[in-house]
Structure 1
Amino acid sequence: MPREAATPGDVDSPYAWLRLVITLALGTVACVGTWSVIVVLPTLQLEFGTLRGGASMPYTLAMLGFAAGGILMGRLVDRLGIVVPVLIGAALLCVGYILAALTTSIWQFALLSAVIGFGSAAGFAPLISDLSHWFRKHRAVAVSFAASGSYLAGAVWPLVIDHFQFAYGWRAVHVGIGLFVPFAMVPLGLALSRKPAQTSYAAAEAATEAAREELGLSPRQLQGLLVVAGFACCMAMSMPQVHLVAYCGDLGYGVAVGAQIVSLMLGLGVVSRVGSGAIADRIGAGPMLLIGSAMQAVALLLFLFFDSRSSLWVIAGLFGLFQGGIVPMYAVIIRQFLPPREAGARISLVLTATVLGMAAGGLAAGFIYDATQSYRLAFLHGLLWNLVNLALIGWLLVWPKWRRRSRAVRGHLRA
């Protein structure tokens, strides 16, 4: 498939912003696979006769598929561009959803959820990596827009699925999604066939080398720190996102209310992502990441003490506003400090760690609930992981200043 090379002037250009809009629409469609299972979780638990932990398994396998797909498709983006991963994702989503509608056990559904998650991965890290090459001055806000596709999917798809599930059943809904997704994804993906110019890569390489020298960490050290930090923050983030629908059902407010609250939370998460990106372009991605993580910890703490219907609406909204901008900041940090020609693989690896954190956190919360018949310890469990993330990101911000100060002291002593 021929691809037209972009000129250096295309960076931060009107074409780049058009590409952002297409990317956002594509991510919104493709990321249905990360949200559909949380809406049908209570239905699956009843139909297949399993406990909450067992019913959480499809979500966990969907996230594992999403993680594996992110890594493999990230490598494909570096080598072939974005179109091939999008077409692969569309095909897998079509097959996965239609076959999931035919399952007769929770384990069959869980295995096909892994296929669905793998396909949905095309709508997240690969798209973020691809778009990051088209912006320099406004990279943080652009990356945040690209990452907002997953949250727009979370704001739109749960309401759509809940409505049609009530009217036609979850199996019919899955068939409908399987038919709709490739119909939308294929033309959007083909519209992104253009690639950045080689001169853009060369300029970005020089900038990242200089920034990395100032930071004082090797690519491997920085990559490892971001992987652990990303996993920790999403272990914390997963509890409200995965279990809030079921939590509202347990409290007697109804699954539909839970889906509406999740939709609000993720809709405000989009606002948070865009706003955080705009702020990060001014103060830097690292400080913005620290602020977002601290605010997420506050929201998790509020969940521990308030569970009335009105308070859940308020806290979930705050949670969306607080944590929505966290994940895109990892991608911006990678593009600031690590080689641009490896952006697809490196961004995908760190974002895969966040996905694994979501998967492990969602599963852990389910088993904690089964053991205690309460989500209180699950919220506390998430808060502790959030503190780990805060410690790592705080160290990352302090380390360069401490390093410069130590070098200055050593130089003064030698003099």
Structure 2
Amino acid sequence: MTSATHDSTYSWTRLCLTLMVALVANAGMWAIIVIMPAVQAEFGVSRADASLPYTLTMIGFAVGNFVVGRAVDKWGVTPVLVVCGLIISGGYGLAMLSGSILWLSLAQLVVGFGTSVGFGPLIADISHWFMKRRGIAVAIVASGNYLSGAIWPLVLARVLAEDGWRASYAVLALATLVVVLPLAFALRRAVPDTAHQMAEAAALSNAQSSGLSSRALACLLGLAGVGCCVAMSMPQVHIVSYCVDLGYGPAVGAEMLSLMLLGGVASRLVSGLLADRLGGVRTLLLGSVLQAIALALYLPSDALISLYVVSLVFGLSQGGIVPSYALIVREYMPARDAGTWVGFVLMATIMGMALGGWMSGWVYDVTGSYQMAFWNGIVWNGLNIAIMVWLLGRSRPRAPAQPLSGTI
């Protein structure tokens, strides 16, 4: 059973506008990866220390997904987008003034917090406007993060080569003000109360089948998210530095990152279609297994062509994992708290990215290569697989595509 609110013409229009916001708002978490070799050379620090700004970015991004998600539940998406757009631009400005790795790291903490509005909060918001196609809608918005990572590194690599990393950040600050703030006002319409009421029955049914409270399930999903994203962070965070070490240069690394993330976009879209039939748990489990296989393929690969191929395979394997967490939240938890719980679980996944980004740099410093860092990721990925297998065996979640009375 559906309503005029769900899967409507306005729903799809809102989806397109939301994707445009995500393309720009998410740039901050990828820009620091592109400038990492330049920052390391300028400040004369170790690889682990050069990874610190990324780690602080992801910590800010993680906390922001929870805090900003709760704010969206309370005040709506438009005012929160405006405030976060100003925070993002201010963070870029602070980064441009940095004279040390510590200052840059603190500025990136601000950037990461503001950037969070382009991920979990937007995913939670769009999930209210779809029923039959919720999986693909969530996947499209989540793909904004990867599309941002595919587009901006190529743009910034050119600016970086010609004018330095500070000029790259000036471009991002201006783009945020010009794009995010105006589009925020185009998303003013609120979800009707009846839509929230209709969602409660389906969430309650699935929650009872699992025997877990919302809080317990969120903590379990958070632990799984840390495991999968420690693994995911190894190629995403260090592929540029890895290519520099191999003598291929940062531009080649940026191309591999873009290829990886474009593959991730395709993976997210396919996973969204699958999730509309299989549900979030099964879709997440499939993606996690494929990610472990792709990580293993990096171990024997250091030639240029093979790295391009494996980076594409990695992107195609893991893109649907993180959006599946949001779908599981919507399948099992109350709709009125969607921003809070989606934000909490995605906060945990991003903390895993932050931990994994630093941990991979630390393993590199200790061992002198990235081989053990890849193995470290594979082990952490196993934790996520084990939790999903347990959850799938404990409950039988209903796929969103199946018609349910009282479902959003």
Coarse TM-score class (shorter-chain normalised): over 0.9
Contact 1:8 1:199 in 2 (8 A): no
The aligned counterpart of 1:390 is: 385
Contact 2:28 2:111 in 1 (8 A): yes
Q: Deviations over 1:79-104 (max 9, x none)?
A: 11111221111101111112211111
Query: Among residues 349, 357, 362, which one is paired with 2:357 in the alignment?
Result: 362
The aligned counterpart of 2:403 is: none
Q: Distance in 2 between matches of 1:165 and 1:27?
A: 23
The aligned counterpart of 1:102 is: 97
Query: Among residues 284, 289, 297, which one is paired with 1:294 in the alignment?
Result: 289
- Quote how far apart the aligned CAs of 1:173 are: 1.5
Q: Distance in 2 between matches of 1:213 and 1:99?
A: 48
Bigger Cα Rg: 1
The yes-or-no answer on 1:157 pairing with 2:152 is: yes
Q: Distance in 2 between matches of 1:71 and 1:200?
A: 23
The aligned counterpart of 1:56 is: 51
Contact 1:61 1:113 in 2 (8 A): yes
Q: Distance in 1 between matches of 2:318 and 2:350?
A: 15
Please tell me the residue identity of whatever aligns with 1:111.
L
Please tell me the residue identity of whatever aligns with 2:311.
A
Query: Among residues 220, 225, 228, which one is paired with 2:220 in the alignment?
Result: 225
- Quote how far apart the aligned CAs of 1:36 are: 0.2
SS in structure 2 of the partner of residue 252 of structure 1: coil
Q: Which runs of structure 1 show a deviation greater than 4 angstroms over 4 or more consecutive aligned residues? A: none
The yes-or-no answer on 1:189 pairing with 2:146 is: no
Q: Distance in 2 between matches of 1:162 and 1:294?
A: 33
- Quote how far apart the aligned CAs of 1:178 are: 1.1
- Quote how far apart the aligned CAs of 1:390 are: 0.4
Please tell me the residue identity of whatever aligns with 1:15.
Y
Contact 1:128 1:331 in 2 (8 A): yes
The yes-or-no answer on 1:375 pairing with 2:370 is: yes
- Quote how far apart the aligned CAs of 1:400 are: 2.4
Q: Deviations over 1:132-163 (max 9, x none)?
A: 00011111111111111110110001001101
The yes-or-no answer on 1:327 pairing with 2:322 is: yes
The aligned counterpart of 1:66 is: 61
Query: Among residues 176, 194, 200, which one is paired with 1:199 in the alignment?
Result: 194
SS in structure 2 of the partner of residue 378 of structure 1: helix
SS in structure 2 of the partner of residue 154 of structure 1: helix
SS in structure 2 of the partner of residue 35 of structure 1: helix
- Quote how far apart the aligned CAs of 1:302 are: 0.7
Contact 1:76 1:84 in 2 (8 A): no
- Quote how far apart the aligned CAs of 1:185 are: 0.2
Q: Distance in 1 between matches of 2:363 and 2:188?
A: 46
The aligned counterpart of 1:315 is: 310
Listed as ranges, the matches of 1:1-400 within 5 Å are 8-400=3-395
SS in structure 2 of the partner of residue 374 of structure 1: coil
Of 38-47 and 301-310, deviating more is 301-310
Contact 1:62 1:113 in 2 (8 A): yes
Q: Distance in 1 between matches of 2:219 and 2:175?
A: 38
Uncovered stretches (5+) of structure 1, i.e. residues with no partner: 1-6, 402-415
- Quote how far apart the aligned CAs of 1:216 are: 2.2
Uncovered stretches (5+) of structure 2, i.e. residues with no partner: 397-408
Contact 2:5 2:195 in 1 (8 A): no
Q: Distance in 1 between matches of 2:105 and 2:240?
A: 19
Q: Distance in 2 between matches of 1:400 and 1:195?
A: 33
Q: Distance in 2 between matches of 1:173 and 1:284?
A: 40
Please tell me the residue identity of whatever aligns with 1:47.
E
Q: Deviations over 1:160-193 (max 9, x none)?
A: 1101111111111112211221111011111111
Q: Distance in 2 between matches of 1:112 and 1:181?
A: 16
Q: Distance in 1 between matches of 2:135 and 2:205?
A: 19
Which TM-score applies when normalising by structure 1? 0.94
Contact 2:24 2:175 in 1 (8 A): no
- Quote how far apart the aligned CAs of 1:260 are: 0.2
The aligned counterpart of 1:406 is: none
Contact 1:233 1:357 in 2 (8 A): yes
Q: Distance in 2 between matches of 1:370 and 1:397?
A: 39
SS in structure 1 of the partner of residue 299 of structure 2: helix
- Quote how far apart the aligned CAs of 1:221 are: 1.9
The aligned counterpart of 1:4 is: none
Q: Distance in 2 between matches of 1:165 and 1:373?
A: 27
Which TM-score applies when normalising by structure 2? 0.95
The aligned counterpart of 1:409 is: none
Q: Distance in 1 between matches of 2:12 and 2:395?
A: 34
Q: Distance in 1 between matches of 2:293 and 2:287?
A: 10
Contact 2:272 2:320 in 1 (8 A): yes
Q: Distance in 2 between matches of 1:222 and 1:70?
A: 18
Contact 2:263 2:315 in 1 (8 A): yes
Q: Distance in 2 between matches of 1:142 and 1:75?
A: 21
Please tell me the residue identity of whatever aligns with 1:295.
L
Contact 2:53 2:104 in 1 (8 A): yes
Question: How many aligned residue pairs are there?
Answer: 395
Please tell me the residue identity of whatever aligns with 2:372.
L
Contact 1:8 1:197 in 2 (8 A): no
